[in-house]
Amino acid sequence: MKFLKTMTFAQGMIIICLVGSIALAPRLFSNHNKIKSLTAAVAEGGELSSLVARIQSNSQLYSQLHEQKSGESLQGQGRATEYILRVAGGDSVDLGRINLPKPSRASAGSGAFDETFTIKPADPNRAFDRTRIGNFLFSLEDGTRRLRVTQLILTALNEAGKTRVKHEEFPSDNWAFSCKVTSRSRPPTE
């Protein structure tokens, strides 16, 4: 006890710090091991860097697939008719009513099949300018990768709107048309 009575403030602080450092030594050792393992994981070739590389490659793949899907207006089978009607009624096209009979189906090999749609305006003698017909055909192919125009028949109309244009007449820029559009797809998996 005599030692405690003669002890100065500085000596007391030294003893308190020494006892505190001995008590905190296991915690310091544990934190040192955690820092060492995290540094090894973050280092080049560590498990965290390979995880980050996998996340980056998966995010790039997701972005590519999302872009493809969002650019694809024709998503799924059985929607081709709805898609064609939506394009025909679009602002830059505005074809009005069109006849769209049931498509013909043909095997395309390797499990795929082709659906061919014949598209005609409801009024066969209705006149369209080439810009409107071109916008319609472009919009059909631009909105999806599965649909392609495979046949186009343009018939010139004279000023009276008749399809018989004499050789000596200059046809107006009015055309009657019909086209075939083919969609290739695979049967749904069960």
pLDDT in tens, 135-189: 889 988 888 878 889 999 888 776 665 666 666 666 677 788 889 998 877 765 5
Question: In the prediction, which pLDDT does 158 show?
Answer: 66
Hey, how many other C-beta atoms are within 10 angstroms of the C-beta on 182?
Answer: 19
Of 4 and 189, which is predicted with more confidence? 4
Question: In the prediction, which pLDDT does 151 show?
Answer: 93
Quick check: helix, strand or coil at residue 130? helix
pLDDT range class, residue 190, cuts 50, 70, 90 = very low
What is the average pLDDT across 65-78? Answer: 56
Task: Report pLDDT digits (tens) over 35-62.
Answer: 998 888 888 877 887 888 888 888 888 8
Angle, helices 47-71/9-42, rounded to nearest 10 degrees: 50
Whole-structure pTM over 0.85, yes or no? no
pLDDT range class, residue 68, cuts 50, 70, 90 = low
End-to-end CA distance of the chain: 89
Instruction: Enter the CATH code of domain 80-185.
Output: 3.30.70.60
- How much of the chain exceeds pLDDT 70, in percent? 83
Query: Domain locations in the chain?
Result: 2-71, 80-185
pLDDT range class, residue 27, cuts 50, 70, 90 = very high
Mean pLDDT over all residues of the chain?
A: 80
What is the average pLDDT across 6-11? Answer: 87
What one-character DSSP code corresponds to residue 102?
Answer: P
pLDDT at 67 exceeding the cut of 80: no
pLDDT at 76 exceeding the cut of 60: no
What is the average pLDDT across 65-70? Answer: 66
What is the average pLDDT across 75-98? Answer: 75
Distance CA 140, CA 143 (A): 6
What one-character DSSP code corresponds to residue 89?
Answer: T
